[in-house]
Chains A and B, each alone.
Chain A
């Protein structure tokens, strides 16, 4: 186990004019750790995720990432090219809507292969073999490799997006409501798949979700947000079994029992 975090977040704030997106958020993310960010719509979860993943410039605060050489780099002091390289190789970003993360008009195999080419692979046979392997790992049959994602169901598209993100062996994956638009049985399959992959690959992940069951299943630790602020944080089962903040108690007590 390493004794240094992978990501250090210090006092991140984002204001939209006078409105708060997220305010003064600090935490460390450790290797192999899955952090869930929960809260209702408009609580600032996605703003936070975007500020951490360099998709949105924060108003203030710092985010530093431990590169593979062990040195911490401030994300907002890197060049645009360095950030883009990080995003394409060492990081993944799984969007709620797969069409935001996939190229819908190229084949499934090319969607996965594109990330490999970004890290310098050029051998067509190798790329295709790796793509086939990854489609299998996300339970897409290999005879669909030449089909475009347009021809896939929502659940398949989401699994393809995951394969595209994980093929380069990233160390950190951001996920924005990864099971959001899927029906329950498809969700269960995706969650099980994600849970297995995260564990097997030792990934760190930050998962934004409004679904506490998803947080319970996937995360070690969670942050509860309301109106741009963190109202509670801690070990996932501690937050869910013994919520302290009034808002967390409301969230937990609002879950419908089946």
Chain B
């Protein structure tokens, strides 16, 4: 089985320069790998560093030490040391991310927010918009909202736009940060089936799900983040 992502011995801490340089260790010695076609779930209480791990893999948090190796465009790239241009290419082609909250851009319609990752990969505008509409329809976002910028949408509506945006491409690695947190049962079930289709298509998924029902259905494996608690090694 292919291994599109390997995380090895990753450590992360925050240094708060404005608070006298306090150092807050977040995680240490994070090591795991993801296989194609599986959904691994990061488990552990709030504050254990689950989101930080996702953000390091996506490149929006710096990695202090260790490696995150991703198979990108036929090469193995270490995200801990990759330059910004490479990280941008990896996000375009290899690693997708559904964040917890949508960062809305003024004046861009929900349809175009969803279509954007496909357009960035060179897809024709009309095809990309068509795919976006299919996904929004599947996620039960009312058609009258498609032309509107999502800034004024409810939490659940924004989250569905976000999910559609993350699922529209066929990135081999998909990171999910609580994608079902503000959804009702019917929509959660739709997301669960979409995750299942991604798995069948050979995508490697890594997610955070606080919702136990969803976690039990989608998770092939739980990675316990408390195993990576700083100071654990010393004890």
The A-B contact count (CB < 8 A) is 53
Closest CB in chain B relative to A212 CB, distance in Å: 13
B113 sits at the interface (CB 8 A): no
Partner of A191, one of B87, B88, B106: B106
Cβ contact within 8 Å between B105 and A242: no
Give Cα A246 to B19, complex, Å.
10
A45 sits at the interface (CB 8 A): no
Nearest opposing residue in chain A for B108, CB measure: A192
Within 8 A of A (CB), among B106-164: 106-108
By CB atoms of chain B within 10 A, which of A235, A244, A246 has the most? A235
A30-B85, A249-B16, A250-B18 known; A242-B60 Cβ under 8 A: yes
Partner of A235, one of B15, B17, B88, B105: B88
A241 sits at the interface (CB 8 A): yes
Give Cα A48 to B59, complex, Å.
28
Give Cα A178 to B60, complex, Å.
26
Cβ contact within 8 Å between A220 and B84: yes
Within 8 A of A (CB), among B1-35: 14-18
Nearest opposing residue in chain A for B103, CB measure: A216
Contacts of A245 in B (CB 8 A): 17
Partner of B106, one of A192, A234, A246: A192
Cβ contact within 8 Å between A235 and B87: yes
Contacts of B60 in A (CB 8 A): 235, 237-238, 241-242
Partner of A241, one of B17, B55, B106: B55
Nearest opposing residue in chain B for A253, CB measure: B18
Closest CB in chain A relative to B80 CB, distance in Å: 12
By CB atoms of chain B within 10 A, which of A30, A195, A238, A246 has the most? A238
Interface code B69-102, partner A: CB below 8 Å = 1, 0 otherwise?
0000000000000001101110000000000000
A237-B60, A242-B62 known; A217-B55 Cβ under 8 A: no
Cβ contact within 8 Å between A33 and B85: yes
A8 sits at the interface (CB 8 A): no
Closest CB in chain B relative to A32 CB, distance in Å: 10
Within 8 A of A (CB), among B44-68: 55, 59-62
* Chain B residues touching A, majority SS: mixed
Cβ contact within 8 Å between A189 and B88: no
Give Cα A235 to B84, complex, Å.
5
Closest CB in chain B relative to A195 CB, distance in Å: 7
Give Cα A189 to B17, complex, Å.
36
Closest CB in chain B relative to A27 CB, distance in Å: 10
A241-B61, A246-B17, A249-B16 known; A234-B55 Cβ under 8 A: no
Closest CB in chain B relative to A162 CB, distance in Å: 16
Cβ contact within 8 Å between B61 and A221: no
Give Cα A139 to B87, complex, Å.
34
Cβ contact within 8 Å between A244 and B106: no
Cβ contact within 8 Å between A246 and B61: no
A188 sits at the interface (CB 8 A): yes
Contacts of A191 in B (CB 8 A): 106
Interface code A1-43, partner B: CB below 8 Å = 1, 0 otherwise?
1000000000000000000000000000010010000000000
Give Cα A203 to B17, complex, Å.
36
Cβ contact within 8 Å between B84 and A249: no
Give Cα A46 to B17, complex, Å.
27
Cβ contact within 8 Å between B84 and A221: yes
Nearest opposing residue in chain A for B58, CB measure: A237
Nearest opposing residue in chain A for B56, CB measure: A242
A246-B17, A249-B17, A250-B18 known; A235-B59 Cβ under 8 A: yes
**Interface positions of B (Cβ within 8 A of A):** 14-18, 55, 59-62, 84-85, 87-89, 105-108
28 inter-chain pairs at a CB distance below 8 angstroms, sorted by A residue, are: A1-B89, A188-B106, A188-B107, A189-B107, A191-B106, A192-B105, A220-B85, A234-B62, A235-B60, A235-B84, A237-B60, A238-B60, A238-B61, A238-B84, A241-B55, A241-B61, A242-B14, A242-B55, A242-B62, A244-B62, A245-B17, A246-B17, A246-B18, A249-B17, A249-B18, A250-B17, A250-B18, A253-B18
The 4 tightest CB contacts between A and B, nearest first, are A246-B17, A188-B106, A235-B84, A192-B107
Q: A242-B61, A250-B18 provided; 19 other pairs, C-beta below 8 A? A: A1-B89, A30-B85, A188-B106, A192-B106, A220-B88, A221-B84, A234-B62, A237-B59, A238-B59, A238-B60, A238-B62, A241-B55, A242-B55, A242-B60, A244-B15, A249-B16, A249-B17, A249-B18, A253-B18
